[in-house]
Structure 1
Amino acid sequence: MTTTTQRSTASARLTCLAVAAPLWATVSLAQAALRDGFDLTRHPLSMLSTGSLGWLQIANFVVAGVLIVIGATGLRQALSSTWAPRLVLVNGVGMLAAGILPMDPADGFPAGTPAGIPQTMSWHSYGHMAAGSIAFISLIAACYVLGRHFARTGNHRDAVVSHVTGSALLLGDVWAMTGGAAGSLTLAVGAITAMLWVAVVAARLR
């Protein structure tokens, strides 16, 4: 009975992890397409937390962060890897903090905001950047650790996919940080790709 209960609990927690990424990506991309003045080639998805509808993206970050944190505990029960669940947990905490600490309006968004980057930033905007960095670094590391786990177990296909998704986020983040063309777009693609892969892993482990 205890074993059955533990499996049921782990399955429910893994469901939270499997749902987090598709939910966050869907809500983010829908807003990116519909909100006036938003340009994904110029504005990071985090900037959707600003303006009169900013509460929606803030809630999106918070809900996703909570789901990932819960899901990480299920991943710990279902996966023999020690570090992958820990890194996913840190990623969830980073997402949660990024929601609580929103960015400042900038570069024409929300509509009516002056073009360019503000000369000064608020404390919560600095906090958001720190939280986002923690979330991205931990997610990249989690993908690489999953790759190592799958390689050890002989699942070479999933090992390759894990490394590719981690690299997609790493390259997208570096490109955005160095001011590359459409950097926010490449960062969004990399982040969503890595998040969705972790969600796929969680869904399979259920």
Structure 2
Amino acid sequence: MTRPPAGLGATASRPQPLNRILLGCGAAAGPVFIATFLVTGAVRADYDPMRHPVSSLALGPGGWVQQASFCLNGMMYLAFAAGLVRTQGRRCAPLTGILLVAAAGAGQIGAGIFITDPVSGYPPGTAHVLSGYSGPEALMHDVAAVPVFLGIPAAALIWARASARHRCHCWALYSGATAVIMLAGLALTSAAFAQAPALAPVGGLLQRLTVGTGMTWLSALAIRYRIATGTSTG
């Protein structure tokens, strides 16, 4: 039998189709979101994926695609969190970690509803240096990003601790590394979008690496639980 994730013991319920679908949403959410912004960024005129943030794809013509992508991603992570609760319950997965995953999903929905301000010269004709918020919508967008860029690494740290406690050392190391990389990436990305000369030209790349790191970990987490629950005998 496959060794269960940290905390997933014999008390786990037998796998149910709905549970597997919900956990599958967690596995697919990141790849779908990343593929969408990679394709959209590659075909958008005057948009430089190396420099410009993902959120800027919601600005201008066709911006609804990125807004929809944010919302879909958020709903998939909320479904994933529900799957963790249904499949494992409090005894088998860190409850605080599950809540942080749900908060990240809610944050993505908020990021889709509220549109960011122009950053780093996109759309064309806007200032390269953001001197202030143009209105409450951009502020709400940034607030919505907090549970994504801080909540995911926090969840990774929680799972790292739980995994270490259950002697799942490889998963603990991966989760801890994810948290460190995301927090470092957030710091560098923030400096880049504040127009630090050495980092501004690669701000978009730094953000994509940060987001990709966190979402890859979430996909791996979902796959890990899905496999374990599929082999559990209850």
TM-score (structure 1 length as normaliser): 0.90
Deviation per residue, 1:144-180 (Å, 9 max, x gap): 1111121112111111111111211111111122335
Specify which of 28, 42, 48 is matched with residue 51 of structure 2.
42
Specify which of 185, 188, 192 is matched with residue 212 of structure 2.
192
Bigger helix fraction: 1
Q: CA RMSD in A?
A: 1.7
Is contact 2:53–2:119 with CA below 8 Å preserved after alignment?
Answer: no
1:126 partner amino acid = L
Alpha-carbon distance in structure 1 between the residues aligned to 2:130 and 2:162: 44
Report which of the two structures shows the higher radius of gyration computed on alpha carbons: 2
**Alignment-derived partner of residue 162 in structure 1:** 175
Query: Is the counterpart of residue 116 in structure 1 residue 128 in structure 2?
Result: yes
Alpha-carbon offset, residue 7 of structure 1: 2.9
Give percent identity, aligned residues only: 29
Specify which of 25, 31, 37 is matched with residue 28 of structure 1.
37
Alpha-carbon distance in structure 1 between the residues aligned to 2:147 and 2:137: 15
Alpha-carbon offset, residue 139 of structure 1: 0.8
Unmatched segments (≥5 aa) in structure 1: none
Structure possessing the higher relative contact order (Cα contacts under 8 Å, 6 or more residues apart)? 2
How many residue pairs were aligned? Answer: 202
Deviation per residue, 1:27-59 (Å, 9 max, x gap): 011112221111223211111111111000000
**Alignment-derived partner of residue 80 in structure 2:** 71
Q: How does 1:51-200 map to 2 (within 5 A)?
A: 51-76=60-85, 77-78=87-88, 79-110=92-123, 112-120=124-132, 121-179=134-192, 180=196, 181=199, 182-200=202-220
Unmatched segments (≥5 aa) in structure 2: 1-12, 227-234
Deviation per residue, 1:39-88 (Å, 9 max, x gap): 22321111111111100000000000001011111122334222111110
Is contact 2:100–2:147 with CA below 8 Å preserved after alignment?
Answer: no
Alpha-carbon offset, residue 118 of structure 1: 4.8
Alpha-carbon distance in structure 2 between the residues aligned to 1:107 and 1:86: 33
**Alignment-derived partner of residue 17 in structure 1:** 26
